[in-house]
Structures are given as C-alpha cells and as structure tokens.
C-alpha cells in the first residue's frame, strides 16, 4: 500500500547533456555520447552519465576545461557548403600530417564546425559543416532518409543485370547495401560515368558496392546531400555559407524549427567573404582539374 505522505519523485529538469552540447556545435550527439562514456565530461564536478540533464545553472567541463555557456550561441545554426578537393582528410588533426578540411574553414569565436558525415581522402565534392550538432546528427541519422548523390567513373564492363543487382541490393562485409538509383552519364569504352544515389553514408560504401561486382571506381564526387546541391559556382577548395532560406529548408527536412542566423558585424562579414574567396593551400598547389559530367538529379 502506498504511503499517502510519500512525495512523488521530482522529474529531471533541463535538457539532455548530449543535446545541449551538440546544439552548441561541440560535436554531433553521437560523438558527445562517446565522450560521456569515456569520462571526458563532468557536470558540477561529477562525471556525467548518459541521459544526464542540465540547465543554464549547471557547470559543465570537457576534458577538465570549464565550458562557457552562451545561450545565444546555443541556438546558433550556421551551415557551410565546402567543395572538397582530392587529398584532404575529414579529421580535425591527422597524425600523418595530411591536409585537413577543417583547416580551410572560417574560424569561430565560440563553438566549432561539426562535419555532416565524411568523404575519404580520394573522394571530392560536397561536404556540409554546421555549428548545430543536433542538425548534424539528424542529417546523418538513417531514420531521416537523407539521400546522397554521387558522380562516379567506373572502369570495367557494366551491363543492365549488374545495375539491377546494385539497385536490388547486394551483401557487403557490414551488411546489405544498395543504390536507390543508377543513371548512365557518359564516357567511352570501359571508363564510364554514372550518377548514383543512396540513403546512408557507410564507410566507402559507393566504392564497395561497385567493387562487389568486379569493377573499379577511379573517380568519385559527391554532388548532392538531401536538398543541397553542389553548384558550378563553387570552385574546388572553396566554401560558402548557406543563406537563411536554404538553412530553413534543410532544417525542415529533419523536423527542426527554423533559427535566425546570427547578426554579424560589417567587419566580420567582410572578413568571412575574403576567407571564402581564398583557395586552400592544398588546392593552390593543384594545377590539374578534370571536369565531371552532370547526370540526372
């Protein structure tokens, strides 16, 4: 029998820690969860746990460093489109000293850019970065069905039966995979271009799908991520910041309410524009460029 004097438990207040830190742009939700499990995050001097909730009064430290809370920064949502060249890696630091995509992005006063997925070192094209880790998490999550489109040059004999198998599904080492669409896009002999679409971003998935059929990919470029296209106006090795209406469309695709872009001072805006026009050091050393044919969107 329940004691009538017993008080009901007080529900936890605030938001989940991983959601708050993701929105601040420290990392995606999944990355923050791995930090919590590794013991890198504390709340009010105690190790954080998965499911922990925080509010504006809680003191959060990451790797022993206090996190400065700025509520205006926590609701910031900026998005960059970057045209990745071949030879750059998608990690913040590379032990082999290879060029990293993060070195090419504009610096932030607070928070950091979170990459929406990755491209391997030999793959070029569209990469998205955002200050909103929750947006990044949703864009990458399979449940939101964000399709990716690639232009791919394949070396080897490709017939209709092979294309049908790739669209129906084949078994890879990490499970079944398939393209949702395959469109022929030109080429001669055994080197032909195709545009392919798929609904996930597993490691080297496009290459492995083709290789499962005995052919080889010798060029690969991502040209679209969901509603975002890599337009011809963005040179290789350059980035541009998405406009408010573009960010709103992207946010709505994954069920997030629009957030107004932060107001930038004139000097900050001019500096960002100069940075956007400046090619990366890696790309400045690259003189050979090959055009990729356009396929059906």
Q: What residues are annotated to the active site?
A: 120
| Residue in 48, 2, 3 with CA at minimum distance from that of residue 26 | 48
How many CB atoms are located within 10 Å of the residue 158 CB? 19
% helix, strand, coil for the chain, step of 5: 25, 25, 50
User: How far apart (Å, rounded) are the C-alpha atoms in residues 250 and 228?
Assistant: 8
Buried b vs exposed e over 130-157: b needs ≥16 C-beta within 10 Å?
bbbbbbbbbbbeeeeebebbbbbbbbbe
Give kind and range of the element (H or E) at residue 188: strand 181-188
User: How far apart (Å, rounded) are the C-alpha atoms in residues 245 and 47?
Assistant: 40
């Amino acid at each position: 029998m329940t004691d009538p004097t017993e008080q009901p438990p007080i529900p936890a207040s605030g938001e989940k820690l991983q959601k708050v830190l993701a929105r601040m742009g420290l990392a995606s939700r999944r990355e923050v969860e791995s930090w919590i499990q590794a013991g890198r995050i504390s709340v009010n001097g105690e190790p954080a746990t998965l499911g922990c909730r925080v509010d504006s009064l809680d003191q959060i430290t990451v790797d022993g460093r206090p996190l400065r809370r700025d509520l205006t920064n926590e609701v910031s949502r900026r998005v960059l489109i970057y045209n990745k060249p071949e030879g750059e890696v998608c990690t913040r630091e590379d032990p082999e000293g290879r060029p990293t995509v993060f070195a090419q992005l504009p610096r932030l006063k607070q928070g950091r850019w979170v990459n929406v997925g990755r491209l391997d070192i030999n793959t070029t094209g569209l990469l998205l970065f955002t200050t909103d880790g929750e947006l990044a998490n949703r864009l990458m999550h399979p449940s939101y069905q964000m399709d990716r489109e690639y232009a791919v040059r394949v070396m080897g004999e490709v017939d209709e039966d092979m294309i049908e198998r790739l669209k129906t599904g084949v078994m890879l080492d990490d499970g079944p995979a398939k393209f949702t669409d395959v469109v022929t896009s030109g080429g001669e002999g055994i080197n032909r271009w195709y545009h392919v679409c798929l609904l996930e971003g597993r490691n080297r998935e496009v290459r492995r799908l083709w290789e499962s059929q005995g052919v080889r990919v010798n060029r690969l470029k991502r040209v679209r991520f969901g509603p975002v296209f890599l337009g011809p106006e963005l040179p290789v090795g350059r980035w541009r910041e998405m406009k408010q209406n573009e960010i709103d469309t992207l946010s709505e695709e994954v069920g997030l309410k629009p957030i107004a872009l932060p107001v930038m001072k004139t000097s900050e805006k001019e500096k960002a524009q100069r940075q956007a026009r400046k090619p990366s050091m890696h790309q400045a050393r690259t003189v050979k460029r090959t055009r990729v044919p356009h396929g059906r969107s």
